[in-house]
């Protein structure tokens, strides 16, 4: 039998106004944390952030979500974004909440790509043309994973550079 288990679930929903709503949930033997974020695209700016510590270890833990208002207005995906969140939410509140926050923000990018791909595909665009445009036009996507890195065989084959 496991001594410790942790589950995380993140769901992303796109609203008509270009805002992606993200719901994150962490549950383990010690903590239960919920997080709701709103991210406006194409700027990738945090427009809302609410958290709830449902199960925790110290009387200080439930205070952690109050720091989330300070994250509103930040742009996700920048080079120092994770460092900012770890300082702001992690040190100022709870490192588990900060980790969930970062994972929720990271989930926005594949959701945006999926949404854009559905539209592009319905308009007859090839996958190669879609990826070429995506990597060329959206710096926040570049180097997020091997597929979109400058070292990727796909990116090299498509002739995209930055």
Q: What is the pLDDT of residues 11-24, one digit of tens each?
A: 999 998 999 999 99
22 assigned to some structural domain: yes
Q: Say whether both 89 and 149 belong to one domain.
A: no
Q: Say whether both 18 and 75 belong to one domain.
A: yes
Q: Say whether both 104 and 122 belong to one domain.
A: no
Task: Specify the number of domains making up the chain.
Answer: 2
What would the pLDDT profile of 113-153 be if each residue is shown by its tens digit?
A: 999 999 999 999 999 999 999 988 888 888 888 888 889 99
99 assigned to some structural domain: yes
Q: Which residue pairs from 56-64 have beta carbons closer than 8 angstroms and sit at least 24 positions apart in sequence?
A: 56/30, 56/31, 56/94, 57/30, 57/31, 61/31, 61/94, 63/93, 64/89, 64/92, 64/93, 64/94, 64/97
Residue with tokens 């588990």: 96
What would the pLDDT profile of 24-71 be if each residue is shown by its tens digit?
A: 999 999 999 999 999 999 999 999 999 999 999 988 888 889 999 999
Prediction pTM value: 0.88
Q: Which domain holds residue 128?
A: 114-158
Report pLDDT for 15: 94
């Amino acid at each position: 039998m496991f001594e410790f288990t942790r589950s995380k679930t993140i769901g992303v929903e796109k609203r008509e106004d270009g805002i992606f709503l993200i719901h994150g949930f962490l549950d383990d033997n010690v903590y239960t944390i919920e997080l709701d974020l709103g991210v406006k695209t194409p700027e990738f700016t945090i427009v809302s952030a609410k958290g709830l510590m449902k199960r925790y270890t110290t009387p200080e833990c439930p205070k952690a979500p109050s720091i989330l208002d300070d994250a509103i207005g930040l742009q996700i995906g920048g080079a120092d974004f994770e460092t900012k969140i770890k300082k702001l939410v992690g040190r100022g509140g709870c490192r588990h909440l900060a980790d969930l926050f970062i994972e929720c923000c990271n989930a926005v990018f594949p959701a945006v790509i999926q949404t854009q791909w559905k539209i592009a595909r319905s308009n007859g665009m090839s996958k190669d043309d879609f990826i070429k445009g995506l990597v060329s036009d959206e710096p926040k996507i570049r180097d997020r994973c091997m597929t979109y890195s400058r070292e990727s065989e796909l990116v090299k084959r498509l002739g995209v550079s930055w």
